[in-house]
């Protein structure tokens, strides 16, 4: 019997990956993630933490780009608290092209102090200065051995890493979770519309038409990592929209938890939205005086809900 060729139309997210090639060094990053997961399987639960804002280039030889706001604090601080909770962490974070590169002749990675009394992680391997992470970070060997950090700049770099990391962690389910704190662009310029060279100002004011990025949470939950515990963040600036939008995201993508936050108050309070309830997590005045970070409360809450030692219950909706 002759095999019938597949006539299935490509999903939008598949087209995105077909049109936007993997960034240089991607297979190397995949190898790092595979090795990291192999090392920790059976010993530690693993969290993937994404952090920082993606950029969308306006030119292929990029001089200008559109950025998503994020200082990277949520992801960096949360990483530290996941480590404290005994998780191994793949920390995927934005690197700013404006930061100086951190070149060291010493192989491997190390910690060193940087601005604002915080500590920065540097890696000769990735040759970049990473985002700051909270002071008090342990330099103990065991903790560093539980951290793998990889960097991205553009939206496309981020999505390639996200997909590969999710597929890698799926093999460790239910002992792995995704904690998606990166601020990811909803808009981009497709490859066939992007200017090759620097856009010239002689032609007058610039009009840019950005297309919608396919919603990647959909394949992430249903195809790449169906058995993973998935936490996404919803960022709004209008208080009236927050819960409604967070609930809508949860219903649409059928993952485990949406953490809603307002740009203005994100350091002090967040709302946890699940299928069953929504609950406010807010720092008390006493906690603020004690300099307790909201990320500590968030991560403790996420870990108690994930409960990797028992395996989290997969919502029925995910299995349908
Ligand atoms: C967040 O909401 C993060 O909590 C923040 C953290 C970016 C506000 P900072 O880095 O701030 O500490 O300065 N991330 C937003 C994730 C995101 O882009 N979500 C999408 C959306 O809101 C849906 S997946 O539409």
Give the CB-side neighbour count of residue 142, counting CA atoms within 13 A: 6
Ranges of each domain in the chain: 29-184+208-319
Band (7; pLDDT cuts 50, 70, 90): confident
Instruction: Report the DSSP pairing between strands 109-113 and 46-51.
Output: unpaired
Q: Output the pLDDT for position 8.
A: 83
Which helix (H) or strand (E) covers residue 211, if one does? Answer: strand 211-212
The rounded Å distance from CA 284 to ligand 1 centre is 22
Which among 86, 107, 116, 245 has a CA at the least distance from the CA of 177? 86
Average pLDDT over residues 209-217: 97
Long-range contacts of 12-19 (CB under 8 A, 24+ apart): 12/214, 13/214, 13/215, 13/216, 13/218, 13/219, 15/214, 16/159, 16/213, 16/214, 17/159, 17/160, 17/163, 19/190, 19/191, 19/192
The rounded Å distance from CA 9 to ligand 1 centre is 32
The rounded Å distance from CA 183 to ligand 1 centre is 4
The rounded Å distance from CA 5 to ligand 1 centre is 41
Of 66, 252, 266, the residue with max ligand 1 atoms within 8 A of its CB, to mutate for a pocket test, comes to 266
Q: Quick one: which atom of ligand 1 is closest to the CA of 236?
A: 22
Task: Give, using CA atoms, the residue closest to atom 16 of ligand 1.
Answer: 183
Q: Quick one: which atom of ligand 1 is closest to the CA of 266?
A: 8
Which among 100, 89, 157, 166 has a CA at the least distance from the CA of 129? 100
Task: Give the mean pLDDT of the chain.
Answer: 85
The contacts of residue 56 (CB under 8 Å, 6+ apart) are 65, 66, 67, 154, 155, 185, 187, 188, 189, 210
Is pLDDT of 20 > 90? yes
Instruction: Please list every protein residue whose CB sits less than 6 Å from any atom of ligand 1.
Output: 70-74, 180-181, 183-184, 217, 232-235, 261, 266
User: pLDDT tens digits for 257-299?
Assistant: 999 999 999 999 999 999 899 999 999 999 999 999 999 999 9
Is pLDDT of 104 > 80? no
Q: Quick one: which atom of ligand 1 is closest to the CA of 232?
A: 24
Q: Output the pLDDT for position 95.
A: 85
Is pLDDT of 214 > 80? yes
Is pLDDT of 105 > 80? no
Cα angle 141, 31, 155; round to 5: 100
CATH class of 29-184+208-319: alpha beta
ipTM: 0.96
**DSSP string computed for 99-141:** SPP---SSSSEEEEE-GGG-EEEEETTTTEEEEEE-TT----H
Task: Give me 75's structure tokens.
Answer: 């992801």
**DSSP string computed for 33-82:** HHHHHHHHTTT--EEEEEESB-EEESBSS-S-EEE----SHHHHHHHHHH
The rounded Å distance from CA 10 to ligand 1 centre is 29
User: pLDDT tens digits for 118-145?
Assistant: 334 433 333 233 434 433 344 455 566 8
Q: Output the pLDDT for position 3.
A: 57
CB 176 within 8 A of CB 306: no
Question: Phi/psi at 140 (nearest 5 deg)?
Answer: -60, 145
**DSSP string computed for 272-301:** EE-SS-EEEEE--HHHHHTT--HHHHHHHH
């Amino acid at each position: 019997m002759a095999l019938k060729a597949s006539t299935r139309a490509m999903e939008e997210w598949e087209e995105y990956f077909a049109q936007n090639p993997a960034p240089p060094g991607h297979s190397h990053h995949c190898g790092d993630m595979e090795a990291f997961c192999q090392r920790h399987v059976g010993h530690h639960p693993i969290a993937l933490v994404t952090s920082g804002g993606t950029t969308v280039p306006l030119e292929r030889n990029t001089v200008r780009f559109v950025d998503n706001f994020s200082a990277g604090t949520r992801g960096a601080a949360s990483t530290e608290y996941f480590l404290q909770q005994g998780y191994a962490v793949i920390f995927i974070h934005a690197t700013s092209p404006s930061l100086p590169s951190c070149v060291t002749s010493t192989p491997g990675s190390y910690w060193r102090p940087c601005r604002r009394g915080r500590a920065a992680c540097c890696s000769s391997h990735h040759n970049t200065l990473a985002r700051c992470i909270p002071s008090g970070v342990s330099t103990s060997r065991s903790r560093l051995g539980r951290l793998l950090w990889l960097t991205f700049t553009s939206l496309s770099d981020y999505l390639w890493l996200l997909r590969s990391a999710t597929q890698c962690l799926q093999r460790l389910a239910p002992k792995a979770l995704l904690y998606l704190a990166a601020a990811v662009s909803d808009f981009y310029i497709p490859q066939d519309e992007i200017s090759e060279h620097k856009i010239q100002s002689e032609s007058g004011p610039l009009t840019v038409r950005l297309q919608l990025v396919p919603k990647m949470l959909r394949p992430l939950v249903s195809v790449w990592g169906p058995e993973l515990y998935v936490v996404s963040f919803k960022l709004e600036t209008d208080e009236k929209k927050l819960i409604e939008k967070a609930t809508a995201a949860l219903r649409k993508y059928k993952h485990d938890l949406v953490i809603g936050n307002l740009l203005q108050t994100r350091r002090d309070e967040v709302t946890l939205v699940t299928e069953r309830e929504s609950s406010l997590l807010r720092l008390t005045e006493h906690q603020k005086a004690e300099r307790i970070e909201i990320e500590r409360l968030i991560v403790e809450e996420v870990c108690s809900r994930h409960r990797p030692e028992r395996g989290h219950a997969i919502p029925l909706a995910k299995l349908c």
